[in-house]
């Protein structure tokens, strides 16, 4: 059982540290458990044969010294894991700020901000949501974007910071880059990066067509994002937002409103008013 626990610790190592850790773990393991290495088997004195009951080796009861040695090696393994940078994924260890497009750049989203419902090339309407991230390991990761309710099932407003039920979500691989020159980070702390400002790198939350009995345009909902880095460390951020149809062209805006209202049907948005029936 100890082998599994120690291998889990090693799984989060940096590549070079993992090699050192593997050698150290193997050396300690042979001393600590199976007695095949340079040290004597724990609980067994050299020169003394183990007792047998039939064909089964009867283990000797642990001595105080054996128990002490096991505790010592467990502590040594944990200490060496920390010293070599071996650490498993940590949930919530990253700082994350949701962003949206302002022209060609991604800018932070504040509580209550409008977010644009955009018609992508494949049709429907999506909300493009990116992220500013601090403390990520490496530049590759995944972003999960969720559109959530802001009320309980009974229609009561949720307390601030409480996630509502998920309406729709999308998750994809993404790339972090350095902040553009002149960009003010969300906090003075070092280590901030931003998702690449490209629609292929941000979450494309598929808000519409909206088949659910929930109004989306001009209604306060929630956006929640979860960023996961190369090591599995995560960060989560939640914002109340108001999705909007902001298309300049009247026909495009009407289509957005039609698709994003509750209980979408194709007849409502694309069929003629008379359903094509002639007299």
User: 136: pLDDT confidence band, cut at 50, 70 and 90?
Assistant: very high
Q: Reply yes or no on whether the pLDDT at 113 is more than 80.
A: yes
Question: Looking up tokens 């999705």, which residue turns up?
Answer: 243
Q: Which two tokens stand for residue 64?
A: 């105080």
The residue among 86 and 111 whose pLDDT is bigger is: 111
Give SS3 for 95.
strand
User: 21: pLDDT confidence band, cut at 50, 70 and 90?
Assistant: very low
User: 75: pLDDT confidence band, cut at 50, 70 and 90?
Assistant: low
pTM to 2 decimal places = 0.69
- What single DSSP character describes residue 96? E
Q: Reply yes or no on whether the pLDDT at 258 is more than 90.
A: yes
* pLDDT of amino acid 274: 53
200 in the same domain as 120: yes
Q: Reply yes or no on whether the pLDDT at 91 is more than 60.
A: yes
Q: For the chain, how many structural domains are there in total? A: 2
The residue among 13 and 4 whose pLDDT is bigger is: 13
170 in the same domain as 115: yes
**Residue of 215, 217, 207, 117 whose CA lies nearest to 170:** 207
Asked if the structure places residue 152 within a domain, the reply is: yes
**Residue of 4, 1, 6 whose CA lies nearest to 80:** 6
140 in the same domain as 31: no
* 3-state helix vs strand vs coil in the chain, percent to 5: 25, 30, 45
Cβ atoms of 79 and 2 within 8 Å: the answer is: no
143 in the same domain as 112: yes
The per-residue pLDDT for range 169-185, each reduced to its tens digit, is 999 999 999 999 888 99
Share of the chain above pLDDT 70, in %: 66
Asked if the structure places residue 50 within a domain, the reply is: no
Asked if the structure places residue 36 within a domain, the reply is: yes
Asked if the structure places residue 39 within a domain, the reply is: yes
The per-residue pLDDT for range 188-225, each reduced to its tens digit, is 999 999 999 999 999 999 999 999 999 999 999 999 99
Length of the chain as a residue count: 279
Asked if the structure places residue 118 within a domain, the reply is: yes
76 in the same domain as 120: no
* pLDDT of amino acid 182: 85
Q: Which residues of 63-81 are buried (b: 16+ CB within 10 A; e: fewer)?
A: eeeeeebbeebeeebeebb
Asked if the structure places residue 34 within a domain, the reply is: yes
Phi, psi of 146 (to 5 degrees): -125, 135
Q: Reply yes or no on whether the pLDDT at 125 is more than 90.
A: yes
* pLDDT of amino acid 63: 60
146 in the same domain as 69: no
147 in the same domain as 102: yes
Q: At what angle do helices 15-29 and 2-11 cross, to 10 degrees?
A: 160
Range of the domain at 252: 95-270
Q: Mean pLDDT across the chain, nearest whole number?
A: 79
Kindly give the pairing relationship between strand 234-244 and strand 114-116: parallel
Asked if the structure places residue 10 within a domain, the reply is: yes
Nearest 5°: the CA angle 5, 8, 11 is 155
Residue 172: in which H helix or E strand, if any? strand 166-178
Q: Reply yes or no on whether the pLDDT at 108 is more than 50.
A: yes
Residues in Cβ contact with 238 at an 8 Å cutoff, skipping those fewer than 6 apart: 148, 161, 163, 222, 223, 224
Share of the chain above pLDDT 90, in %: 60
Q: At what angle do helices 64-83 and 15-29 cross, to 10 degrees?
A: 170
Residue 32 to residue 48: CA distance in whole angstroms: 19
**Residue of 130, 116, 279, 108 whose CA lies nearest to 201:** 130
* pLDDT of amino acid 42: 47
208 in the same domain as 99: yes
The residue among 246 and 30 whose pLDDT is bigger is: 246
């Amino acid at each position: 059982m100890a082998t599994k626990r120690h291998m889990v610790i090693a799984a989060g190592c940096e590549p070079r540290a993992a090699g050192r850790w593997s050698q150290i773990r193997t050396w300690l393991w042979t001393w600590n458990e199976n007695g095949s290495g340079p040290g004597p088997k724990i609980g067994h004195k050299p020169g003394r044969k183990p007792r047998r009951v039939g064909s089964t080796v009867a283990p000797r009861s642990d001595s105080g010294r054996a128990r002490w040695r096991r505790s010592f090696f467990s502590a040594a393994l944990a200490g060496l894991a920390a010293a070599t940078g071996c650490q498993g994924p940590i949930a919530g260890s990253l700082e994350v700020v949701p962003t949206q497009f302002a022209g060609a750049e991604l800018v932070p989203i504040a509580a209550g901000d409008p977010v644009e419902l955009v018609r992508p090339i494949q049709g429907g309407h999506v909300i493009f949501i990116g992220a500013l991230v601090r403390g990520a390991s490496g530049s590759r990761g995944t972003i999960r974007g969720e559109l959530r309710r802001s009320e309980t099932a009974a229609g009561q407003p949720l307390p601030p910071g409480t996630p509502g039920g998920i309406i729709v979500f999308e998750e994809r691989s993404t790339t972090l880059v350095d902040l553009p020159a002149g960009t003010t980070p969300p906090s003075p702390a070092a280590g901030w990066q931003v998702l690449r400002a490209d629609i292929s790198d941000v979450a494309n939350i598929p808000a519409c067509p909206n088949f659910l009995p929930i109004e989306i345009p001009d209604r306060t909902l929630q956006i929640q994002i979860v960023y996961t880095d190369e090591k599995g460390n995560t960060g989560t951020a939640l914002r109340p937002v108001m999705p909007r149809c902001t298309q300049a062209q009247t026909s495009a805006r009407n289509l957005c409103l039609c698709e994003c209202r509750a209980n979408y049907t194709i007849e409502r948005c694309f069929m003629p008013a008379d359903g094509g029936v002639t007299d």
